A and B are shown apart, each in its own frame.
Chain A
Amino acid sequence: MNNAVRFLTRSTSIWSRNIRVWAKLAGPSLMGNFGEPLLYLLVLGYGLGQFVGEVQGLTYMAFLASGVLCTSAVNSASFEGMYSAYTRMDVQQTWMGMLSTPVGVGEVVFGEILWAATKSLISVCAILIVATILGLVADAWALFILPVAFLTGLCFASLALLVTSSAKSYDFFLYYTTLFITPMVLLSGVFFPIDTLPIGVQWLAKSLPLYHAISLVRPLMTGGEVSFVLPHLLVLITFGATAGILAAYRIKKRLIK
Chain B
Amino acid sequence: MNAVDPQLPIVKSIDLCKTYAGIAVVNKLNLEIKEGSFCGILGPNGAGKTTTLRMFIGQCPIDSGELTIFGKAMPENASLVRESVGVVPQMDNLDPDFTVKENLHVYGRFFGIPSSELKERIHELLDFASLQDKADSKISELSGGMRRRLTLARALINKPKLLILDEPTTGLDPQARQAIWQKLRELKKQGITLIITTHYMEEAERLCDRVIVMDHGEVKADAPPKKLIRSEIESHVLEVHAADDRLLERVQQDESVARSEKSGDIHFFYGEKLKVALEVLEQSTHDDYLFRPANLEDVFIKLTGRDLRE
Contact = CB atoms under 8 A, between A and B. Distances in A.
A101 B82 contact: yes
Nearest to B99: A24
B224 interface: no
Interface in A93-148: 93-94, 96-104
Interface in B67-100: 78-80, 82-83, 85, 87, 89, 91, 93-98
B98 A98 contact: no
A207 interface: no
Main secondary structure of the interface of B (DSSP, over half): loop
B110 A103 contact: yes
A166 interface: no
B60 A20 contact: no
A165 B111 CA distance: 25
B57 interface: yes
B93 A256 contact: no
Contacts of A93: 89, 91, 93
B106 interface: yes
A17 B79 contact: no
Contacts of B111: 101-102
Interface stretch (A8-16, A167-175, A228-236): A8-16
B59 interface: yes
A257 interface: yes
Interface string A47-66: 00000000000000000000
Interface string A13-37: 1101100110010000000000000
Interface in A59-108: 92-94, 96-104
Given A10-B112, A20-B102, A104-B78, A97 B61 contact: no
B107 interface: yes
Residue in B80, B109, B110, B158 whose Cβ sees the most chain A Cβ within 10 Å: B110
Interface string B111-129: 1100000000000000000
B106 A92 contact: no
Nearest to A21: B97
Contacts of A257: 60-61
B110 A10 contact: yes
B106 A17 contact: yes
Nearest to A91: B96
Interface residues of B, number: 29
Contacts of B58: 256
Contacts of B98: 20-21
Nearest to B57: A100
Contacts, number: 66
Interface string A241-257: 00000000000000111
Contacts of B97: 21, 24
A98 B110 CA distance: 7
A226 B138 CA distance: 50
Interface residues of A, number: 24
Contacts of A92: 93, 95-96
Given A100-B89, A102-B83, A256-B61, A94 B109 contact: no
Interface in B248-289: none
Nearest to A9: B112
A34 B25 CA distance: 53
Contact of A99 (B59, B91, B95, B109): B59
A9 B110 CA distance: 9
A13 B59 contact: no
A14 B95 CA distance: 13
Contacts of B85: 100
A100 B82 CA distance: 7
A41 B98 CA distance: 36
A149 to B, nearest CB: 26
A14 B112 CA distance: 11
Given A20-B98, A104-B79, A94 B60 contact: no
A172 B83 CA distance: 36
A102 B112 CA distance: 9
Contacts of B87: 100
A178 to B, nearest CB: 29
A104 B81 CA distance: 12
Contact of A13 (B57, B94, B109): B109
A193 B85 CA distance: 57
B104 to A, nearest CB: 12
Contacts of A17: 95, 106, 109-110
Shortest 8 CB-CB distances between A and B: which pairs?
A93-B93, A100-B87, A101-B110, A97-B93, A21-B97, A102-B79, A13-B109, A102-B83
Interface of B: 57-61, 78-80, 82-83, 85, 87, 89, 91, 93-98, 102, 106-107, 109-112, 155, 158
Given A97-B95, A101-B107, 8 more contacts: A10-B112, A16-B109, A94-B93, A97-B89, A98-B110, A100-B57, A100-B59, A103-B79
